[in-house]
Amino acid sequence: MSKGGPATEGGKEVVRWNATRHGMRSPAPVVPGIEAQEDWERHLSGILESLAPEGHLETVLAERVALLSWRLHRVTRYETESIALYQEKAEDDLASRRRFASHVLGAAHPEAVRGNLEDARAKHRLFKRFPKLPDDRRLSAFDADLILWTVAEHTDVAAEGETAPEDLLESISIPGVPDGAEAREDYGGWTAGSVRAGIEAVARATDEDPAELLEVATSEAGRAIIGKEQAAEQVARDLAVMSRERLLPDDKTLEKVARYEAHLSRLLFKSLHEIEAMQTRRAGGSAPLARLDVDGGFPTGEQKLPNELSGDEFGVYERHRVGA
């Protein structure tokens, strides 16, 4: 009586292909978009070649070893990605800490601190470059407003609180430049000469020397860099400390990784021991069913790996392992 199933070699090949496709060697353990099917197949082939299983049961166990070790690799990747994400949050976490710290003045977020320093350096460069510019050199409305505002801010009347800088600038007229703050912000014809005329108008309105006003504003722009450099250096030190503190994931993630990794490791070693026992028996050796496994077997219930055993424990482990 026929046992059923394909009789031709072609039919048998189809059955083997279907078994491979729908068995443990299916794409199931591959996470789409993150892991590659080719990597899984290469990993599986390497495990099967290393363990050299014979028969269906040994092959199933070998495939289980491949699956468990693949999942262990995934745990390692998860841990690495968790650390990377934890590191990426350092700046936001530092910003929150600085925001509620009583000794921190100015910007809280590290990105804002660095931005303030760059702005201060750019402002100082502008003030140092301005006296050397020819009168017909074009300036942006932003740069023109920055120079005039800073000069007005350092007049005696503004420093003593008698007049706000914006009110002082509203009160002056600059030849060829429209009056009013909004009109000046939109004005596209600013030149170094018109800004100098604005500084002179401010000086006349406050009875001060325009050259001295510009010199004071330039000096203050340079001094402003010092405080912002100190803030940026402190932020850099704080971030360096936080980065070293975050070489491991947060406690919750670390506990999850450790438990899952230990679980997979126990299953992996158990499967390896089962294959080893079957191959030992197949070779004519003795591998009793009652043997010590890495996932239990001690009176205390403590779970240990072979390299964690004491001398006496390792002797028991070896005798059970080889069937002595």
Residue 218 forms part of a structural domain: yes
Asked if 269 and 65 touch (Cβ cutoff 8 Å), the reply is: no
Judgement on whether residues 296 and 267 belong to the same structural domain of the protein: no
pLDDT at position 69 is 95
Number of domains in the chain: 3
Amino acid identity, position 312: D
Judgement on whether residues 64 and 120 belong to the same structural domain of the protein: no
Judgement on whether residues 116 and 232 belong to the same structural domain of the protein: yes
Residue 299 forms part of a structural domain: yes
Rounded Cα–Cα distance for residues 154 and 218 (Å): 10
Range(s) of the domain holding residue 293: 288-324
Judgement on whether residues 240 and 280 belong to the same structural domain of the protein: no
pLDDT at position 312 is 54
pLDDT at position 118 is 95
Judgement on whether residues 281 and 301 belong to the same structural domain of the protein: no
pLDDT at position 148 is 95
Judgement on whether residues 109 and 235 belong to the same structural domain of the protein: yes
Interacting residues of 88 by C-beta distance below 8 A, sequence separation 6+: none
Residue 58 forms part of a structural domain: yes
pLDDT at position 74 is 94
Residue 7 forms part of a structural domain: no
Rounded Cα–Cα distance for residues 142 and 147 (Å): 9
Judgement on whether residues 167 and 268 belong to the same structural domain of the protein: no
Judgement on whether residues 66 and 168 belong to the same structural domain of the protein: no
Judgement on whether residues 115 and 144 belong to the same structural domain of the protein: yes
Judgement on whether residues 129 and 178 belong to the same structural domain of the protein: yes
Judgement on whether residues 225 and 309 belong to the same structural domain of the protein: no
Rounded Cα–Cα distance for residues 324 and 322 (Å): 6
Model pTM score:
0.59
Assigned token pair, 232: 């940026």
Rounded Cα–Cα distance for residues 224 and 220 (Å): 6
Q: Along the chain (324 residues), what's the average pLDDT of each consecutive run of 10 residues?
A: 47 42 57 91 94 93 95 94 92 84 68 93 96 95 94 92 91 90 88 95 94 95 93 92 90 93 95 92 73 46 48 51 44
pLDDT at position 320 is 47
Assigned token pair, 141: 């409305």
**DSSP E strand boundaries for 28-179:** none
Asked if 145 and 185 touch (Cβ cutoff 8 Å), the reply is: yes
Give the chain's count of helices (H) and strands (E): 13, 0
DSSP character for 32? T
Judgement on whether residues 241 and 260 belong to the same structural domain of the protein: no
pLDDT at position 108 is 78
Rounded Cα–Cα distance for residues 189 and 140 (Å): 8
pLDDT at position 233 is 93
pLDDT at position 324 is 39
Assigned token pair, 229: 């450099």
Q: Where a domain ends, among 229, 245, 261?
A: 245
Residue 10 forms part of a structural domain: no
Residue 280 forms part of a structural domain: yes
pLDDT at position 318 is 52
Comparing C-alpha atoms, which of 157, 154, 189, 155 is closest to residue 175?
A: 189
Q: Where a domain ends, among 185, 217, 245?
A: 245
